[in-house]
Amino acid sequence: MKSIVQSEYGSADVLRLAEVAKPVCDDESVLVKVEAASVNAGDWHLMTGDPFFLRPMFGGVLKPKIKTLGFDVAGRVEAVGKNVTQFRSGDEVFGDTSDYGFGAFAEYVCVPAAALALKPTTMEFEGAAAVPVAAVTALQSLRDCGQVQPQQKVLINGASGGVGSFAVQIAKAMGAEVTAVCSTSKMEMVRSLGGSHGASLHPDYILDYTKTDITRTGQQYDLILDAAAYRSAFDYFRVLKPEGTYVLIGGSISRLFQAMLLSLWLSKPDRRKVKCLVAKPNQADLMVVRDLLETGKVVPYVDRIYSLSEVPDAIRHLEQRQVQGKVVIRV
């Protein structure tokens, strides 16, 4: 089968299309014929080996142990292990392979059944492939870290990105009042978010951070979801309610450490919370997201579609930090 492989850390130039052996699944796993995948920031980190501390976590200090990247997958079940009862050959599925060795940038991938769910019947494979990592991350940041409630005011920084675009829609589906933050060129895209249920699920307000200092608007929020992390978490305390929560998703290592230190520094009298999300892929949350997709409350936004051989170009596009929604690979 054809697969994108790498044998060293580096830029997208280290990735190449190669012929490799088709994977063989054990009794607990499912062989998926990949129809589509999508690109995540994690692919870039694993490709470059940056930050360095990630390397031993994934098995390769000097050279990558993971030969084929790719978190998100959507495709058809080719075969199932004898102990798998949830799926059968021909089922259309989608999921997140990151807990099981990655490998979605290939014609076939083998993963445990727990990594997958039935693909929404209302969606094509390209749209489904854009969903698992970003949407589950958005769900967990809002529900688990932010504990968002109906009528609460939620500020989403980085609303035009993969996680941010899903967070806007999921927060609205949860009944929150949503203020989305993005740049001038992405405002129209953010304005279009909201699924097929009309204006009630669009963001309530959109702020252009190139023209408005979002930390000095005078507004205060119950939850700030920072999917861009371009400025200090301290800055957001001006617009965080006394019992509010700031949740950091992604960003630089310095921003991550700053948020962690800030979380430890906050004393008990200060009821504000600072949290750093570590998303946990799981089938139950993937099925929650699937229900939102099937009812039209959440719709993925696909920026561009590349072929399997163009994965290096797709990652280069991601590096430019101009992606709106998700970049998809059609296999």
Q: What is the DSSP letter of 136?
A: H
Give the number of other CB atoms < 10 A from CB of residue 270.
12
283 assigned to some structural domain: no
Answer yes or no: do 272 and 138 share one domain.
yes
For the segment 233-253, the average pLDDT, to the nearest whole number, is: 84
Say how many domains are in the chain. Answer: 2
* Beta strands, E only, the chain: 2-5, 16-19, 29-39, 72-80, 92-96, 108-112, 116-118, 153-157, 177-182, 205-208, 221-226, 240-248, 273-276, 302-307, 326-330
- Give me the pLDDT at residue 195, please: 61
For the segment 232-254, the average pLDDT, to the nearest whole number, is: 82
Rounded to whole angstroms, how far apart are CA atoms 96 and 80? 17
For residue 80, give the CATH number of its domain: 3.90.180.10
Q: Are 250 and 208 in contact (CB under 8 A)?
A: no
pLDDT tens digits along 67-79:
999 999 999 999 9
Residue in this structure with the two tokens 């790498």, named with its chain if needed: 6
- Give me the pLDDT at residue 269, please: 54
Answer yes or no: do 32 and 111 share one domain.
yes
Answer yes or no: do 157 and 263 share one domain.
yes
What residues make up the domain containing 44? 2-131+300-330
**What is the pLDDT of the chain when averaged over all its residues?**
92
Percent of the chain predicted with pLDDT > 90: 80
Query: CB under 8 Å to 268, separation ≥6 — which residues?
Result: none
pLDDT tens digits along 267-309:
455 678 888 888 999 999 999 999 999 999 999 999 999 999 9
Least confident of 97-101, 123-127, 255-259, 310-314: 255-259
- Give me the pLDDT at residue 228, please: 84
281 assigned to some structural domain: no
pLDDT tens digits along 11-55:
999 999 999 999 999 999 999 999 999 999 999 999 999 988 888
Q: Which run of H or of E encompasses 190?
A: helix 187-192
State yes or no: pLDDT of 6 exceeds 80. Answer: yes
Least confident of 79-83, 145-149, 230-234: 230-234
State yes or no: pLDDT of 265 exceeds 70. Answer: no
147 assigned to some structural domain: yes
Answer yes or no: do 139 and 120 share one domain.
no
Answer yes or no: do 197 and 272 share one domain.
yes
- Give me the pLDDT at residue 264, please: 52
- Give me the pLDDT at residue 260, please: 54
For the segment 140-153, the average pLDDT, to the nearest whole number, is: 97
State yes or no: pLDDT of 255 exceeds 70. Answer: no
Answer yes or no: do 120 and 200 share one domain.
no
pLDDT tens digits along 127-136:
999 999 999 9
For residue 252, give the CATH number of its domain: 3.40.50.720
258 assigned to some structural domain: yes
Rounded to whole angstroms, how far apart are CA atoms 137 and 154? 16
183 assigned to some structural domain: yes
287 assigned to some structural domain: no
Rounded to whole angstroms, how far apart are CA atoms 247 and 154? 11
284 assigned to some structural domain: no
Establish whether the linkage from the previous residue to 56 is cis, with ω within 30° of 0: no
Q: Are 110 and 25 in contact (CB under 8 A)?
A: yes
285 assigned to some structural domain: no
Q: In the listed set 260, 276, 292, which residue is the last one of a domain according to the structure?
A: 276
For the segment 217-244, the average pLDDT, to the nearest whole number, is: 90
Answer yes or no: do 141 and 272 share one domain.
yes
